[in-house]
């Protein structure tokens, strides 16, 4: 097992290893002597909820559980209110605990509930997708969606603990695992030649504990330098300006991870002296490296995005593996930049 300490506004540990779900009860009992609400989704519940329940129960804690429909549509005001009402009806107090058992959808929703119910109750994240282990469970961004757009309502709220049980990845559908791989490859391009080389050598059969730990450490470093997303943290958006355009133009039929892969490949072609290696690695993971949508279409979609400020957009420019910089590009040049990426 690896432990990564995250010294953010609340300091906490991320534990990464095999069989960690069994230790949930003992870990939770260090945070609360009261009750626990486990929030999960309908795909994860039949796989892992019984083990989570057993571990918490054996640690002497009172356990409530709720299983919500799987999918992005659950990150909604409706389910947010449903959870708040459940906590209020059950008279949960600030010394009780929430556990988010699932992917980024459950993590973001439960995190926002934890941030706001009684102005904050403790939270343990138990991410069960690769994306949620390497990205969404660490760093304290929580959110729900509105009909007008994703993640429009949320809070920065750090968990008290993150438990990444790598065994839970064994049941992930192939496409969901691949989506997470796109964010792993993104992290390697941003910060870590050694990680990049490991992925080249091992492909999808990578050492999960090593790779997830490396990604969590990099995310920790960025988050601690810029917890509230005013600058450095934007680096995590490598490939994401183009990706958001691709997702939107596809009517969200193309997943986030596949869109990020295409966006990252296009930024590499536009700027990176190691573009061939980047494109080859994404292809090795069966991820897309281009898109059917045109540069003008993607530029318009990107400019409608919230990341625009005045006459410039900030792009994460990958000059080389491990050398990526935030650069402001005039709005009028964006289409030409994207065009260089095909």
Summarize as ranges the residues that interact with ligand NAD (CB under 6 A): 41, 43-44, 47, 70-72, 75, 102-106, 108, 128-129, 131-132, 135-136, 139, 141, 150-151, 168, 171-172, 176, 179
Q: Which residue is listed with tokens 């571990």?
A: 55
Query: From the CB of 7, what's the least distance to ligand NAD, in Å?
Result: 18
Query: From the CB of 332, what's the least distance to ligand NAD, in Å?
Result: 30
Query: From the CB of 87, what's the least distance to ligand NAD, in Å?
Result: 21
> Distance (Å, rounded) from C-alpha 135 to C-alpha 112?
16
Residue nearest to ligand NAD (CB): 104
Query: From the CB of 331, what's the least distance to ligand NAD, in Å?
Result: 25
249's tokens: 């133009």
Q: Which residue is listed with tokens 């432990």?
A: 3
Burial class (CB within 10 angstroms; exposed 0-12, middle 13-18, buried 19+) of 219: buried
Query: From the CB of 43, what's the least distance to ligand NAD, in Å?
Result: 3
Query: From the CB of 84, what's the least distance to ligand NAD, in Å?
Result: 19
Query: From the CB of 274, what's the least distance to ligand NAD, in Å?
Result: 25
234's tokens: 């934007």
> Distance (Å, rounded) from C-alpha 132 to C-alpha 111?
12
Query: From the CB of 176, what's the least distance to ligand NAD, in Å?
Result: 4
Using an 8 Å Cβ cutoff, are 8 and 158 in contact? Answer: yes
> Distance (Å, rounded) from C-alpha 209 to C-alpha 207?
6
Q: Which residue is listed with tokens 């809070």?
A: 155
Q: Which is nearer to ligand NAD, 66 or 277 (CB)?
A: 66
Q: Which is nearer to ligand NAD, 217 or 275 (CB)?
A: 217
**Dihedral of the alpha carbons of 7, 13, 16, 18, in degrees to the nearest 10:** 170
Q: Who contacts 294 (Cβ-Cβ below 8 Å, separation ≥6)?
A: none
Taken in order 68, 71, 77, 80, the sign of the CA dihedral is: positive
Q: Which is nearer to ligand NAD, 316 or 337 (CB)?
A: 316
**Dihedral of the alpha carbons of 103, 107, 108, 110, in degrees to the nearest 10:** 140
Q: Which is nearer to ligand NAD, 32 or 55 (CB)?
A: 55
Query: From the CB of 132, what's the least distance to ligand NAD, in Å?
Result: 4
Q: Which residue is listed with tokens 């991410």?
A: 127
Containing H/E element for 65? strand 62-68
Q: Tell me the Cα Rg of the chain.
A: 20
Residue count of the chain: 342
**Dihedral of the alpha carbons of 73, 111, 181, 301, in degrees to the nearest 10:** 50
């Amino acid at each position: 097992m690896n432990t990564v300490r995250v010294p953010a506004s609340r300091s906490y540990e991320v534990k990464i290893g095999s069989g960690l779900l069994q230790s949930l009860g003992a870990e939770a009992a260090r945070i609360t002597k009261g009750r626990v609400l486990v929030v999960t989704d309908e795909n994860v519940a039949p796989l892992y909820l019984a083990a989570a329940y057993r571990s918490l129960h054996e640690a002497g804690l009172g356990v409530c559980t709720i299983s919500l429909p799987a999918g992005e549509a659950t990150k909604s005001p409706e389910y947010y209110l449903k959870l708040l009402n459940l906590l209020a009806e059950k008279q949960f107090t600030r010394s009780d605990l929430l556990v988010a058992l699932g992917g980024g959808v459950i993590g973001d929703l439960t995190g926002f509930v934890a941030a706001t119910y009684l102005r904050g109750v403790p939270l343990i994240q138990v991410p069960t997708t690769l994306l949620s282990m390497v990205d969404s469970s660490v760093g304290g961004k929580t959110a729900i969606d509105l009909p007008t757009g994703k993640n429009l309502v949320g809070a920065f709220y750090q968990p008290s603990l993150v438990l990444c049980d790598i065994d839970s990845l064994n049941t992930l559908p192939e496409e969901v695992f691949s989506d997470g791989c796109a964010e792993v490859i993104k992290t390697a391009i941003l910060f870590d030649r050694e990680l990049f080389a490991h992925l080249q050598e091992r492909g999808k059969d990578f050492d999960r504990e090593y790779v997830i730990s490396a990604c969590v450490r990099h995310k920790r470093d960025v988050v601690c330098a810029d917890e509230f997303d005013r600058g450095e943290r934007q680096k995590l958006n490598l490939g994401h300006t183009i990706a958001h355009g691709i997702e939107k133009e596809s009517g969200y039929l193309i997943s986030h991870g596949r869109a990020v892969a295409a966006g990252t490949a296009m930024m590499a072609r536009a700027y990176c002296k190691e573009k061939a290696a980047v494109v080859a690695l994404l292809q090795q993971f069966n991820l897309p490296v281009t898109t059917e949508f045109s540069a003008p279409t993607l530029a318009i979609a990107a400019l409608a995005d919230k990341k625009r400020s005045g006459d410039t957009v900030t792009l994460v420019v990958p000059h080389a593996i491990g050398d990526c910089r935030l650069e402001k590009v005039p709005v009028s040049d964006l289409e030409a930049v994207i065009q260089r990426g095909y």
